[in-house]
Amino acid sequence: MFRRVVGRTLGLMGYAIQYGCIAHCTFEYIGEIVICSGPSMEPTIQNYDVLVCENVSRHLYSIHKGDVIIAKSPNRPRINICKRVIGLEGDRICISGPTDIIKRHTYVPKGHVWLEGDNLKNSTDSRIYGPVPYALIRGRVCFRIWPLSTFGALQESPNGRVVRDN
C-alpha cells in the first residue's frame, strides 16, 4: 500500500516536472503572452493591453528597426519594458530634442539597440539609459489580443519615424 502511494506520488511529480520544463522552454524560446502597463507606448499600446510576443526573432538576430520589443530593463532587471527599436548597431541616432538648436548625435555600439517609447514625453528609454544590449531583448511583439476591439497587428509609430537621424 505504502509503496503504491509513493510510486504514484513520484509519478505525478515526474509529470509535473516534465510539463514545467515544456512550459519553460515554450515561453523562453518560442513565445509568450504579455500584459503591458504604463504610458510609454501610447497611443500604439494602451495600459493593460494583452500582446503576443514571439521569442524566435531574438535567437535568430532578426530584430529590425520599427519592431516593438519586450526587453529587460537595463536599470531594473526584474522588470520588462516594451519599446520600439529605433536604431541597430552602427546607426547614428539624434539624441537632441526637437527644439534644441544644436543637434547632438551618438552611434549605437556593436551588440546594442536604441529603444524609445512612442510617447516621447512620458517614456524612460534609451534617451535616459543609453543603448540596450541585444542580450536583454526577450522577444518581438506580434499582435494584440486584448482588448478585442483592437485585436490584430500593431500600428506603425505615431511619430512617423523609425530612425531619429538628423
Can you tell me the distance from the alpha carbon of 163 to that of 166, in angstroms, rounded to the nearest whole number? 9
Whether 121 sits among the annotated catalytic residues: the reply is: no
Residue 112 DSSP symbol: E
- Options 40, 57, 123, 126, the catalytic residue: 40
- Options 57, 65, 73, 83, the catalytic residue: 83
- Residue 143 and residue 137 in contact, taking contact as beta carbons nearer than 8 Å: no
Whether 40 sits among the annotated catalytic residues: the reply is: yes
Compute how many other C-beta atoms are within 10 angstroms of the C-beta atom of residue 132: 23
φ, ψ at 133 (rounded to 5°): -60, 140
> Catalytic site residues?
40, 83
